[in-house]
Structure 1
């Protein structure tokens, strides 16, 4: 009994230490004018906040049937996911429409559109520490969609959703749509419906500035690498010869673990990688990118008319210049690309 009690206390102390480290890192970001907080958004059952889940890569590959998968096979899978070679078309969605069908009418009947968002992504979705307002590229888009559908910005409810729970929140009806740097993949298309793509993306790697790595392979080979659970980055890292893959609930936790020296590298979307490097000058983005893809807005598969309405709003949002203005405001200073490079055009 005494031994079990001691172990329980040790686990509690370790969990408390990690929570404290995450808080300290967040305060450090505040000092640089770029605080990003999770302010108590809904969470599923999980270990203590910020606690990473570590599984040796070989075990993960065995569980998913990927043991021994060649790099060539991995590249083919990635090509198929971009719609270039086969298994699904990531650009396919229902035609845009302004009509109110059953799903839209149901949303209007409850007098609010609940939008799942991120509160951990600087310049995409985070709370401004100076104003207290939630802001970012995805937040502007979420509000534009909600206002267009509901006719009143006060009827748009923003709800924080962890990376790993995005599909679950849609399927359980806890949100109506997800606007949260969510890549469209063949697997996710089997689970939820997506709008037309609204942003092109790829996976990039962050490392500490002290790291000697110059290429993506140098940064990952034999490394302890981190990714958000349920993310495209996690799937990509399963194909890489990393020593250990650490998964966390939200990608910002990877940055905290890197600051603590617990991981050697982090993989995430290119826009998120740029935002983390902007937040913390002690990390840098490695040259090279993998797994090109597109982001979309997720909804229930049965909400066809809602998907059509969202597609109409996206078309209007781009045509009237709002998409470009949002890009120039939130992302261009850090991505340093012209906006047209990131607006998806069906191939």
Structure 2
């Protein structure tokens, strides 16, 4: 193994310890299964009675102003919810490398974070107390294929809702509001998402909204793409990148892991995070939206606020409530 490869391996291990193979978490009756690009089964037939007609109409009407609109909540079962209940297990695509959101706690070996708490709430609503959950670790650029090929029921992985993605998958209402921002060393000459990036190596995850934004306007930067955002922090550490462009929520978590870097400038996009679902599973979208209604209920005393205070407030202070839901029908 080369010196560079050893350094990359050691840094990733220090930043986000990951247990190899399949890890059973007894307390949550959950299993973590890695998902790698190109290693997914053929799509299964859609259940009878499912349709993408409403999803097609929603995507066609999508504009930046209403991108976060979703189906109205309902507690009713349907083909997708019935399929999950018959299986007796919810299968969810998540991250295991993003501190505070979805990461493996090195002390306990368990997956933890804001997204993981939301997954558990959804699973409890559909399957009851102590639900069985299969967590599949999915790279950023495999989130949509995993849903389309039905290797997962949901993706809960700091996934931004936008019109391009709504032509491929369906989304719940927004459960968090972020924005793209620049992360760079504190002593860097980079000041924001502006011409101070000229000639710099800027890292972002493949398939992310950061990559899309840099494709539109790179300010003279040389763009470096990686499978996962944590790899950008590793490249920053190894001197192989000068800055990172990612959601500020993720960047704040990376800054919490490394006190030598900081957020630069201000957010330059709106990034509403949603739970992603196969476009044929309208009943599951409505069920998740019902869970989110309950999750937000109670304002400062809500489960949403409790999760925010536990996982995010230290790095993203000043948020007083969850995003208001928008509905399309």
**TM-score range relative to shorter protein:** 0.7 to 0.9
After TM superposition, the structure 1 = structure 2 runs for residues 161-310 of structure 1, keeping only pairs within 5 Å, are 161-238=138-215, 239-310=217-288
Q: Secondary structure at the match of 1:266?
A: strand
Map Cα deviations across residues 232-288 of structure 1 (whole Å, 9 max, x no partner). Answer: 000111122233111100000001111111111101111100000000112111021
Residue 328 of structure 1, aligned match among 291, 296, 309? 309
Q: Distance in 2 between matches of 1:344 and 1:221?
A: 37
The answer to whether the 8 Å contact 2:123/2:131 transfers is no
Q: Secondary structure at the match of 1:334?
A: coil
Once the two structures are TM-superposed, the CA of residue 83 in structure 1 deviates from its matched residue by 2.4
The answer to whether the 8 Å contact 1:115/1:175 transfers is yes
The answer to whether the 8 Å contact 2:252/2:315 transfers is yes
Alignment partner of 1:43 is 2:21? no
Q: Distance in 2 between matches of 1:82 and 1:335?
A: 28
Residue 76 of structure 2, aligned match among 72, 96, 99? 99
The answer to whether the 8 Å contact 2:99/2:253 transfers is yes
After TM superposition, the structure 1 = structure 2 runs for residues 127-166 of structure 1, keeping only pairs within 5 Å, are 127-166=104-143
Q: Secondary structure at the match of 2:223?
A: strand
Highest CA radius of gyration, 1 or 2? Answer: 1
Once the two structures are TM-superposed, the CA of residue 198 in structure 1 deviates from its matched residue by 0.9
Residue 323 of structure 2: aligned partner: 343
The answer to whether the 8 Å contact 1:36/1:121 transfers is no
Q: Secondary structure at the match of 2:270?
A: strand
Q: Distance in 2 between matches of 1:18 and 1:169?
A: 31
The answer to whether the 8 Å contact 1:146/1:156 transfers is yes
The answer to whether the 8 Å contact 1:213/1:219 transfers is yes
The answer to whether the 8 Å contact 1:122/1:136 transfers is yes
The answer to whether the 8 Å contact 1:95/1:311 transfers is yes
Structure 1 residue runs without a partner (length 5+) = 1-12, 30-34, 47-79
The answer to whether the 8 Å contact 2:156/2:275 transfers is yes
Q: Distance in 2 between matches of 1:346 and 1:119?
A: 29
Q: Distance in 1 between matches of 2:4 and 2:78?
A: 47
TM-score by length of 2: 0.83
Residue 109 of structure 1, aligned match among 86, 92, 98? 86
Q: Distance in 2 between matches of 1:38 and 1:203?
A: 30
Q: Secondary structure at the match of 1:290?
A: coil
Once the two structures are TM-superposed, the CA of residue 140 in structure 1 deviates from its matched residue by 0.3
Residue 26 of structure 2: aligned partner: none
Structure 2 residue runs without a partner (length 5+) = 22-33, 40-60
TM-score by length of 1: 0.79
Q: Distance in 2 between matches of 1:36 and 1:237?
A: 30
Alignment partner of 1:23 is 2:9? yes
Residue 8 of structure 1: aligned partner: none
Q: Secondary structure at the match of 2:236?
A: helix
Q: Distance in 2 between matches of 1:184 and 1:39?
A: 31
Q: Secondary structure at the match of 2:256?
A: helix
Larger helix percent: 1
Residue 294 of structure 2: aligned partner: 316
Map Cα deviations across residues 65-101 of structure 1 (whole Å, 9 max, x no partner). Answer: xxxxxxxxxxxxxxx98723xxxx2122111011111
Map Cα deviations across residues 124-182 of structure 1 (whole Å, 9 max, x no partner). Answer: 00011111111000000011111111114332221111111000000011100000000
Once the two structures are TM-superposed, the CA of residue 22 in structure 1 deviates from its matched residue by 2.2
Q: Secondary structure at the match of 1:158?
A: strand
